[in-house]
């Protein structure tokens, strides 16, 4: 098991390198002048020259490839001189030292921004996945057991609708229904934000009297404090917990519909395969109750492929929450990436994307390892 984990971690290095390379080059190859995109069209040439030198944008992007304002130029004669002294290898050196750079627009370390924004995305993604699993698995099991019935047709139609409807459309519909049409009723929900006015989640360092704490532990506590539902739950801030959950209901449903539909369809298909196996027929022939046949014999084995799908969907949710966060005005990673791409804030785009990629790789590794515990027949070497 240890050898397998180490091998997977080593194999993930070229994957992460490829992601960094693609994001780095794509961000810099976008047409337009990064100086005027950030400082505005009225920025003078002198101001732009100082800006470009300050942030090292006058160096080659890749060996021999330069940007002159809005133009990209490739000089073959300068490939060798810039083989090492270029922006890409400079950024790799920063990442190797644990430095994700500094935001150009906000003049703040990207790591600090991640500590502030990543908890929102994690909180939203986890709740969306919980919603998808709680609804999707029973829906898939019922559809598989009642194959070709009206329940099956209706469930799969609902699943197909969930896959087909864009997240931002569903989000706007939910916001209108629950925040506008049902305003003033007990089931009305907030259309945006994370907390209501006047409601505050007290950080862990204040609750536990650790305001003078510094170092990595302080960073960790500040990060966990950004996950409002977790902080409010473990510290007994029940009013804040209820308010935070109410604000997350609509975005979690909007974000969770696509994984819900995928989980339901995979569960249905897997259950149909399992119901045709010999051990299921044997259990029925022995007189085992139908409920026990489905839940104890068939469902347990049918859920094995679903474990992989759930892990992949968590990674997809973390990277795909951009539209949801924008629709519901949540200051998470996705919304920050959109703003950074628009403003040519290269360090933020690269740093946030790299962290999401690392999370994706780790989630996939955890899923593979968990497979050996769910199914003893699987042995990881």
> Pick from 348, 351, 328: which is nearest to 339 by CA?
348
Q: Which domains does the chain have, with CATH numbers?
A: 32-99 (no CATH), 110-201+237-374 (1.10.3720.10)
For residues 232 and 240, the answer to whether their CB atoms sit within 8 Å is yes
210 in Cβ contact with 175 (< 8 Å): no
Please tell me whether residue 71 adopts helix, strand or coil conformation.
strand
Query: Where does the pLDDT of residue 6 fall: very low under 50, low under 70, confident under 90, or very high at 90 and above?
Result: confident
Residue 372 CB contacts under 8 Å (≥ 6 apart), including other chains = 1, 378, 379, 380
| Structure token pair of residue 108 | 């703040």
**Cα separation, 162 vs 214, whole angstroms:** 46
DSSP 377: T
Q: What's the token pair of residue 231? A: 């902080």
How far apart are the C-alpha atoms of 366 and 371, rounded to whole Å? 9
pLDDT of res. 177? 93
The pLDDT assigned to 372 comes to 67
pLDDT, tens digit (0-9, with 9 covering 90-100), for 38-62: 787 788 888 888 888 888 888 888 8
The model's pTM: 0.84
Q: How many percent of the chain have pLDDT more than 70?
A: 96
- The Cα 224–Cα 202 span in angstroms is 12
Residue 155 φ then ψ, to 5°: -65, -45
Q: What is the pLDDT of residues 339-366, one digit of tens each?
A: 888 788 888 888 888 888 888 888 877 7
pLDDT of residue 380: 58
Helix H or strand E encompassing 204: helix 204-207
Buried b (16+ CB within 10 A) or exposed e, 292-331: ebbeebbbebbbeebbbbbbbbbbbbbbbbbbbbbbbebe
The 10s digit of each residue's pLDDT in 88-108 is 998 888 888 888 888 888 888
- How confident is the model over 123-149, as a mean pLDDT? 90
Give me the DSSP letters along 218-258: HHHHHHHHTSHHHHHHHHT-HHHHHHHHHHHHHHHHHHHHH
Locate tokens 């922006």: which residue? 87
Residues facing 86 on adjacent strands:
60
């Amino acid at each position: 098991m240890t050898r397998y984990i180490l091998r997977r971690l080593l194999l993930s290095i070229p994957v992460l390198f490829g992601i960094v390379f693609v994001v780095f080059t794509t961000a810099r190859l976008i047409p337009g002048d990064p100086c005027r995109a950030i400082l505005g069209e009225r920025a003078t040439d002198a101001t732009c020259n100082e800006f470009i030198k300050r942030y090292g944008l006058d160096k080659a992007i890749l060996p021999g490839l330069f940007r002159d304002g809005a133009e990209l130029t490739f000089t073959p004669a300068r490939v060798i001189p810039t083989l090492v002294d270029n922006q890409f290898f400079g950024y790799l050196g920063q990442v190797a030292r644990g430095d994700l750079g500094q935001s150009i627009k906000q003049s703040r370390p990207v790591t600090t921004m991640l500590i502030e924004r990543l908890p929102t995305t994690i909180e939203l993604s986890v709740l969306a996945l919980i919603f998808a699993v709680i609804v999707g698995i029973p829906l898939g099991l019922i559809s598989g057991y009642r194959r070709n019935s009206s329940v099956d047709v209706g469930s799969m139609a609902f699943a197909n609708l969930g896959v087909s409807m864009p997240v931002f459309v569903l989000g706007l519909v939910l916001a209108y229904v629950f925040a506008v049409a049902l305003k003033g009723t007990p089931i009305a929900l907030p259309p945006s934000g994370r907390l209501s006015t006047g409601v505050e989640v007290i950080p862990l360092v204040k609750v536990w009297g650790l305001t003078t704490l510094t170092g990595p532990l302080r960073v960790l506590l500040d990060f966990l404090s950004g996950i409002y539902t977790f902080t409010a739950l473990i510290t007994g801030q029940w009013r804040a917990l209820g308010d935070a959950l109410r604000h997350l209901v609509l975005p979690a449903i909007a974000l969770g519909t696509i994984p819900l539909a995928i989980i339901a369809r995979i569960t249905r298909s897997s259950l149909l395969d399992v119901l045709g196996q010999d051990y299921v027929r044997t259990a029925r022939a022995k007189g085992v109750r139908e409920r026990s046949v489905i839940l104890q014999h068939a469902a347990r084995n049918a859920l094995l492929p679903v474990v992989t799908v759930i892990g992949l969907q968590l990674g997809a949710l973390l990277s795909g929450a951009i539209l949801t966060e924008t629709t519901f005005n949540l200051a998470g990673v996705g919304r920050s990436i959109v703003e950074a791409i628009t403003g040519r804030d290269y360090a933020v785009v690269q740093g946030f994307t790299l962290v999401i990629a690392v999370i994706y790789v780790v989630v996939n590794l955890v899923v593979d390892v968990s497979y050996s515990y769910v199914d003893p027949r699987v042995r990881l070497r």
